[in-house]
Amino acid sequence: MSSMTRINRFLASAGLGSRRKCEDLVRNGAVSVNGNEVVDLSVKVDVDKDVVTVGGKRVMPPGKTRIFVLNKPAGVLCSVSDDRNRRTVIDFAVEKGCDKRLFPIGRLDMYTSGIILLTDDGELSYRLTHPRFKIDKIYVVVVGGEVADADIDKIASGIDLDGQMTQPCRIVLLERNSGESIMEVTLREGKNRQIRRSFMKFGYKVKSLHRKALGELEFRDLAEGDIRALTAEEEEILRRQTGLSQGVGK
């Protein structure tokens, strides 16, 4: 792509859908360039300088690192592909109009819903998944039965799971009754199925598990199944948390 290109071609190349779909976005007033609404399909943008937004969300040009956030439904795998042909987050993202050359940052198990990032930025992925960068991952967990305070304290302090000690975590009890207990759990590590296995060790079954936030970012606008690119502000926060704050869309 040359530095100057028509707005609909830019949007299509950035993964927002077919050329015709992108033309409709422009005609419907959803597109702005440098803060100014654009409805003329003849408008050209400088992919190296201009800031293009759709519905208020910044669109990154192809060739730049991109970061998307997905509110993953339960039942979708956090992997690039699956030899059993089960639906993956990449399949899901492509169906929603995103580029298939992405990969998930970290994992949520198949039956866990919530926030997962997809990117083509390997260094950011490494920093977000490595414990030494201390990025909080915040979950809401619904457990069958009335979980005892003593068991909550033990899990929060760190327990042995198959010969490995978990790191201390933060657990806040939100609601408890005879039928279930609802808690907010904050982790800085991500052992395989750690939350489910921790409660199971004390005889409790996790009924549902949802990741609501990563560090300072909660993405409250995302309904289940929604996916979008990070805003410039969100990407800056993410890079600052991981020590990669070098400006957005490097």
Residues 54 and 76 in one domain: no
The count of domains in the chain is 3
Residues 22 and 125 in one domain: no
Q: How confident is the model at residue 151 (pLDDT cuts 50, 70, 90)?
A: very high
Residues 229 and 192 in one domain: no
Q: Write the pLDDT tens digit of every residue in 97-128.
A: 777 778 898 889 999 999 999 987 777 777 77
DSSP calls for 139-192: EEEEEES---HHHHHHHHH--EETTEEPPP-EEEEEEE-SSEEEEEEEES---T
Count of helix runs (H) and strand runs (E) in the chain: 7, 16
Residues 48 and 91 in one domain: no
Give the CATH number of the domain where residue 12 resides: 3.10.290.10
Cα separation, 137 vs 122, whole angstroms: 19
Residues 126 and 227 in one domain: yes
Which residues are identified as catalytic?
A: 109
Cα separation, 208 vs 225, whole angstroms: 16
Q: Give domain status of residue 247, yes or no.
A: no
Residues 75 and 119 in one domain: yes
Domain that includes residue 11, residue range: 4-59
230 Cβ contact partners less than 8 Å away, ≥ 6 residues apart? 58, 67, 68, 69, 117, 238
Give the CATH number of the domain where residue 87 resides: 3.30.70.580
Residues 82 and 190 in one domain: no
Q: What angle do CA 135, 136, 140 make, to 5 degrees?
A: 150
Q: Write the pLDDT tens digit of every residue in 156-211.
A: 999 999 999 999 999 999 999 889 999 999 998 878 899 999 999 999 999 999 99
Cα separation, 241 vs 47, whole angstroms: 27
DSSP 3-state assignment of 238?
helix
Assessment of whether the complete model's pTM goes beyond 0.75:
no
Residues 203 and 221 in one domain: no
Residues 207 and 221 in one domain: no
Are 186 and 149 spatial neighbours (Cβ–Cβ below 8 Å)?
A: no
Q: Provide the residue type at 173 as one letter.
A: L
Residues 149 and 208 in one domain: yes
Residues 41 and 88 in one domain: no
Which pLDDT score, from 0 to 100, does residue 63 have? Answer: 56
